[in-house]
Chains A and B, each alone.
Chain A
């Protein structure tokens, strides 16, 4: 099995890796049993994703796809970001081995979960989450 240069670049030098204390939305998908967990934090201002961070437990493809997904959506409107698919992430990385396609699906899901989390909080009239919210967060 071989990864493309782009995958290896994002794996070795992940973009936007880290946590966000004042995230507008957070999405966590996957589970440790299957070997992949991705968490994406987004900061939303005027419907634009002004900042994005990720943390990932997983293989090379999982780390690279989450890094690439954050790079793609930074600066996008929520509407644009919602249209980002796993295929787009995969193509931007020059492709993935067939057994690793599910990693790109997780990256799409984590991103969409973060956006959904933000929208739900808005509907409920809650302020964007802060560090203290972590205690009672129900991740999607």
Chain B
């Protein structure tokens, strides 16, 4: 059995999306900027996709800009508004558990003379409107808080946070890369000024994203070139990718409550079984304000890369927040931000569902985890010491 439960990393391009894209390689291939018929039919497809994206999040057509990925959208939103508003103020507010596309952009802006406040999240990964209110200063120009966390799945109270920003006349950006298709988003009703999204998280191909920018928000462009995307994002459009993004977001947002309920049922079944059948585990992230497809669990006394390798051997794809899989020395900043110890962060596994996963797959994954964790604990000196009641003393390295 092969089971893909790493949909937080990327998703499969589904057949309807592929079918929608298919004509835009060999048959319809004009440059959307060209005046001839080949170009006009390509332009038509780009604008149809723009309309699909706008509709999915309650935006206007002119407010959607296609980008190369979610990371580009985040970079553009942050740097674009920071530079455009530098005369007004140089203070930005975000959280300490954003995606690196936001965090590292903030670090770079700090080097360029901007000031950034990183709001700490609580043990469930939540940041409150009160925290934001207290952090806003007269020179604050931008708030950027993710809609839902990629690792632990916590869903932030975005409408309430955005309302605080609005009341202070501060721009509000949200990285909604993980949230699209799982949470109902209406940028107007929720007072969102900018929103980043990425196609490959909801069955569109890799290499296509979009940034929503509320009409009237001033944003510097990051690249110079042609007049594409109303002169704000030069570069010949990724025609097939844009068509795929349009189709995929239409499908993903067609019936969010039903999709989310189906996924949440599988998620909860897996969490319940893991908690009941494997001792010494903890669920990371919020127990209820959680993405319908996210499971993040720390298995004590074992290291997650070993779990991932065994899962892979059984045909199961998952991921982890451990240092050992990322090639860095520190475990995930997200797990550390919610107060998970280094030791338990090193034993964390993320299983991320799509709407295509089944209950049968869920049971196979949990059965496998039960067996794998037991096998690795039998090898773990930490576990045998724990059973004997002695503290494991090793060395610093």
- A→B interface (CB under 8 Å): 1, 8, 11-12, 14, 17, 19, 28-39, 55-60, 62-63, 99, 102, 106, 109, 134-135, 138-140
Contact = CB atoms under 8 A, between A and B. Distances in A.
Nearest to B313: A12
A34 B30 CA distance: 53
B390 A58 contact: no
A56 B301 CA distance: 10
Contact of A55 (B309, B343, B381): B381
Nearest to A139: B393
A55 B380 contact: yes
A35 B381 contact: no
A140 B343 contact: no
Contacts of A29: 394-395, 397
Contacts of B379: 14, 17, 55-57, 63
B301 A60 contact: no
B61 interface: no
A14 B310 CA distance: 13
Interface in B317-354: 322-325, 327, 329, 331, 341-343, 346
B392 interface: yes
Contacts of A34: 323, 329, 342, 397
B396 A31 contact: yes
B219 to A, nearest CB: 38
A129 to B, nearest CB: 14
A99 B392 CA distance: 25
A7 to B, nearest CB: 10
B238 interface: no
Nearest to B341: A33
Contacts of A32: 342-343, 346, 382, 392, 394
22 contacts: A11-B306, A17-B378, A28-B394, A33-B343, A33-B346, A35-B303, A35-B323, A35-B331, A36-B324, A37-B381, A38-B381, A56-B379, A57-B301, A58-B303, A59-B306, A59-B324, A59-B325, A60-B305, A62-B303, A99-B327, A106-B397, A139-B394
A105 to B, nearest CB: 8
B22 interface: no
B384 interface: yes
B388 interface: yes
Given A28-B393, A32-B343, A58-B306, 11 more contacts: A11-B306, A32-B382, A32-B392, A37-B382, A39-B381, A55-B381, A55-B384, A57-B379, A59-B303, A60-B305, A63-B379
A37 to B, nearest CB: 5
B306 A63 contact: yes
A30 B380 contact: no
Most B-side CB within 10 Å, residue of A11, A60, A109, A135: A60
B302 interface: yes
Shortest Cβ-Cβ A-B pairs, 3 listed: A59-B305, A59-B324, A35-B346
A115 B104 CA distance: 46
Interface in B272-295: none
B316 to A, nearest CB: 15
Contacts of B329: 34
A11 B309 contact: yes
Given A35-B346, A62-B303, A135-B390, A57 B395 contact: no
A106 B305 CA distance: 17
A33 B397 CA distance: 10
Contact of B392 (A8, A28, A135): A28
Given A28-B392, A35-B322, A63-B306, A57 B397 contact: no
Contacts of B393: 28, 138-139
Contact of B384 (A19, A30, A58): A19
A51 B343 CA distance: 31
A131 B324 CA distance: 32
Contacts of B341: 33
A57 B342 contact: no
B323 A30 contact: no
B303 A1 contact: no
A11 B396 CA distance: 24
B346 to A, nearest CB: 4
Nearest to B301: A57
